[in-house]
A and B are shown apart, each in its own frame.
Chain A
Amino acid sequence: MTPGPGTLALLAVLGGAAALDGTSLGQVMVSRPLVAATLAGCVAGSPAHGAMLGLFLEALHLGVLPVGASRYPEGGPPAVAGAALFAGSAGTFAELLPVVLFCMAWEWACGATVQWMRHWNARAASPPEETELDPATLERRHYASIAGDFARGAVLTLLGLALLAAWLRAGPAEWTPEPVARMALAGVAAAGIASSLRLFGSRRLPLFVLGAACGVALLVLR
């Protein structure tokens, strides 16, 4: 189900805000897939569906590090676009699988536009030979970069929505049986979460095992 014009406008604003939050402004982490998808789910009418998508995207985004000038996938706008469309579905794993796949691919595309924007910002930055800089010029350049990043996020969210809607019309939700989709998604989410041990250091494997034992205990008791 494609969202109406008012919802689309709100989603574009949310996608722009998520793009800004990723690097340019705030970094309070509303751009994380878990939060961005949940918020987009709220806008589109089903926060629980948004959170469900956000969980899988977050699990596969834990190892993404925005360090220095490294190239990395951008999680915010794709999560907004994906959650907006997944919110209108029945919420099955067979429907979720193509949405997760699209969002992961779109994250790389959005990450590439971050690189382009940084090259564009470099042209706008003050030249090295500049020995004096007008405060108004500096502020104008800075605000223009921030506005450009917001516009980039909004456009990428709407473009992502259009591409995902077209992809979902091809019927990928019917290609995979529900139990297979559930196992595949659960497996990659578990692997994604487990892979975050690399961030914390392999010497903390005993703590990881202790956490896993607590998880098993909870599953048994439930």
Chain B
Amino acid sequence: MSGVSPRVRRALLLRSFAVQGSWNYRTLIGTGFAFVLLPALRAAHAGDEAGLRRALARHAELFNSHPYLATVAAGAVARLEAEGAAPELVGRFKSALRGSLGSLGDRLVWLTWRPACALLGVCLLLAGAPWWAAAGVFLLAYNALHLWLRAWALDVGLRDGLQVGRALRESPLERLGERAAGAGALLAGFGAVLAFGGAGARGTDQLLGPAALAAGILLGFRTRRVAFALLAATLAAGALYLRTR
């Protein structure tokens, strides 16, 4: 249907794991996108070496996307190239697609799925699970979506071509992100309490737990810097105390 052979499809999927291999500030993942697309371009321009070189130069230009959803664009462009679509049309299609692939993937994967899975691993460790279970469950849970997403996105691109926008709108990705965010919030509360509660605080030290939780919620992304400063101050105070004793 898509005019792309199963062998090329497998090569596209495999190469997509290296789509960010040459990430740079000029073409972003453009070079990587051309690298992913190369097997499809070779098939589409078989016997036309100059055509292949021109197509490769076009696809090595600026492009950006979430790395897992880049296969949507790769699949759709592979189909368009196989059908002999005009380069201008392919260029406009890529430009239109890159913003939505970036924001959709960032929201689903970086903002919700990955932290939720990491929190699952952290919570398991805090609850007393062995180290291999914590790391293993995190990797399995995270990559279940990751690997499915790459394969699904490639299929959508190859199947729908220029119509991938509708397929993305009708996909369950937004709903999945909502559910992952809910689970992540639950795990964050659970893990934050276990992280401090497991330290065996006594007396007034116990007040530090709720204070730490409140500080984390209020500080948000600044927590890391404040935590670094607090740990450094703790260490420095200890060194000073030892020196003056």
Binding site for B on A (CB under 8 A): 23-30, 32, 34-35, 38-39, 41, 47-48, 50-51, 54-55, 58-69, 73, 97-98, 100-101, 104-105, 118-122, 124-126, 128, 130-135, 138-139, 141-143, 145-146, 149, 172, 174-177, 180-201, 204-205, 207-216, 218-219
Contact = CB atoms under 8 A, between A and B. Distances in A.
Contacts of A63: 220-221, 223-224
Contacts of B5: none
A193 B38 contact: no
Interface string B187-213: 111111111111111000100110111
Interface stretch (B46-54, B78-86, B158-166): B46-54
B31 A142 contact: yes
A145 B110 contact: no
Contacts of B189: 194, 197, 207-215
Given A119-B24, A213-B189, 6 more contacts: A48-B131, A73-B224, A132-B50, A182-B199, A197-B189, A208-B189
Contact of B23 (A23, A184, A210): A23
Q: Per DSSP, are chain A's interface residues mostly helix, strand or loop, or mixed?
A: helix
20 contacts: A27-B68, A30-B139, A50-B131, A55-B134, A68-B102, A122-B25, A185-B231, A190-B209, A190-B216, A191-B192, A191-B226, A192-B224, A194-B189, A197-B185, A208-B186, A208-B189, A211-B188, A212-B192, A214-B189, A219-B197
B234 A97 contact: yes
Contact of B193 (A183, A196, A215): A215
Per CB-CB distance, the 5 closest pairs between chain A and chain B, nearest first, are: A211-B189, A215-B193, A194-B216, A186-B199, A191-B216
A213 B221 CA distance: 24
A195 B221 contact: yes
B243 to A, nearest CB: 9
A174 B234 contact: no
Given A24-B23, A194-B188, A188 B213 contact: no
Contacts of B115: 62, 196, 199-200
B106 to A, nearest CB: 5
A218 B184 contact: no
B87 to A, nearest CB: 11
Interface of B: 17-18, 20-28, 30-32, 34-35, 38, 42, 50, 52-54, 56-57, 60-61, 64, 67-68, 102, 106, 110-112, 114-119, 121-122, 125-127, 131-132, 134-135, 138-139, 142-143, 146, 181-182, 184-201, 205, 208-209, 211-217, 219-221, 223-224, 226-228, 230-232, 234-235, 238-239, 242
Contact of A195 (B131, B182, B185, B217): B217
Contact of A191 (B42, B61, B227): B227
Given A67-B110, A195-B223, A29 B182 contact: no
A25 B29 CA distance: 12
